[in-house]
Amino acid sequence: MNPFRYAQAADAGSAVTALLGDRGMRYIAGGTNILDLMKDDVEQPTLLLDITHLPLRTIDAGPHGVRLGALATMADVADAAPVKSGFPAVSQALLAGASPQLRNMATIGGNIMQRTRCAYFRDVSQACNKRTPGNGCAAIAGQNRNHAVIGTSENCICTHPSDFAVALLAVDTLVHVRGAGGLRTIPIGDFHVLPGATPNRETVLEHGDLIEAIELPASALARNSVYVKVRDRASYEFALVSVAASLHVTDGVIRDARIGIGGVAPKPWRSHAAEAALTGRPPTPETFAAAGVAAASGMRGYGKNDFKLTLTRRTVVRALEHAGGLA
């Protein structure tokens, strides 16, 4: 690990100003992701700015939804009654991630900023365009069982590891960010970006941007949401494929739907094709099967991860059976 300095942020505004003036500086929240990457020499900040003393831990519920401070822990958010009742997929996704110890430490802001678990990215002896642009991608012809099947580029085929961010897609979440130009709001679907020619860029945030809050707007759709995660072992494991599904059904017809998919793309993947296959149709096994097929359309495997196409189809159906009351 490289030597680095440590400082505590006094307030949100001065934290942003400090980072804007120093490209080697990085925020640290729970530290469960950035410290691992520093130990592996994947990240080498010269100064860590500790934001954990900022007043961004509150969970505020009202008639219009829930506002989560970016420093609220995964455990506290998963446990919050208004999140469990109004946004069940969000609570389920948080509880399906990491371990109790990690969830007590890790923050939700850090969760949506966490970096890929691609083993080549974390091994500095391997070629990785995300770590070193122009270096190549060892995963494309390598051990790519855990890698992406949609949204990839010739430069990077990694997956985004966050369960929470997948669930946020199913409930129309907004991310509130403070940056050089003041406060702005970013819909979660626009927050992460695909690798394209610049896999080193993962979100629309600029250096210095600070996530202050994550807002969950109340809706009938969000109240009827579920999260299903398929993984190699039952706990303490990242998703092979996961699905967050939300359905709003009245008079036997699906009026609105959201399908977020994890473990398949370099960003939390929203399947508009699956949503279109659901909307205006009855919540039947046939409709759900068609949505599963639509979700997997456009996917391609890289050899060892070909199974993810079938797994996506089946996991979408399973999540819809739960959201649609057929399970």
Q: Which residues lie near ligand SF4 (CB under 6 A)?
A: 116, 118, 120-121, 128-130, 137-139, 156-158, 199
The site partner of 120 among ligand SF4, ligand FAD, none (C-beta below 5 to 8 Å per kind) is ligand SF4
Q: How far is CA 15 from the centre of its chain?
A: 24
- x/- mask, ligand FAD, residues 144-183, rule CB under 6 A, reads -----------------xxxx-------------------
Residue 30 near ligand FAD by CB under 6 A: yes
Cα torsion 32, 179, 269, 222: sign? positive
Of 285 and 303, the one with the shorter C-beta distance to ligand SF4 is 303
Instruction: Please identify, among the stretches 23-31, 127-135, 271-279, 290-298, the one whose residues bind ligand FAD according to the rule CB under 6 A.
Output: 23-31
The site partner of 176 among ligand SF4, ligand FAD, none (C-beta below 5 to 8 Å per kind) is none
Of 128 and 320, the one with the shorter C-beta distance to ligand SF4 is 128
The site partner of 92 among ligand SF4, ligand FAD, none (C-beta below 5 to 8 Å per kind) is none
Q: Which residue has the tokens 């455990």?
A: 75
Nearest to 168 by CA among 201, 213, 130, 208: 213
d(CA 221, CA 248): 5
d(CA 279, CA 281): 6
The site partner of 61 among ligand FAD, ligand SF4, none (C-beta below 5 to 8 Å per kind) is none
Joined tokens for residue 308: 């993810």
Contact 86, 149 (CB under 8 A): no
Rg of the chain over all Cα atoms, to the nearest angstrom = 19
> Cα separations (Å) of 291 from 200, 248, 282, 309?
32, 15, 12, 13
The site partner of 156 among ligand FAD, ligand SF4, none (C-beta below 5 to 8 Å per kind) is ligand SF4
Cα 89–Cα 109–Cα 47 angle in degrees, nearest 5: 160
Of 165 and 259, the one with the shorter C-beta distance to ligand FAD is 165
Residue 39, SS3 per DSSP: helix
Residue 32 near ligand FAD by CB under 6 A: yes
Name residues whose C-beta falls within 8 Å of residue 172's C-beta, 6 or more positions apart in sequence: 187, 188, 217, 219, 221, 222, 258
The site partner of 128 among ligand FAD, ligand SF4, none (C-beta below 5 to 8 Å per kind) is ligand SF4
**Which residues are at the interface with ligand FAD (CB under 6 A)?**
26-34, 36, 51, 70, 74, 97-98, 102, 106-107, 109-111, 113-114, 161-164, 210-211, 238
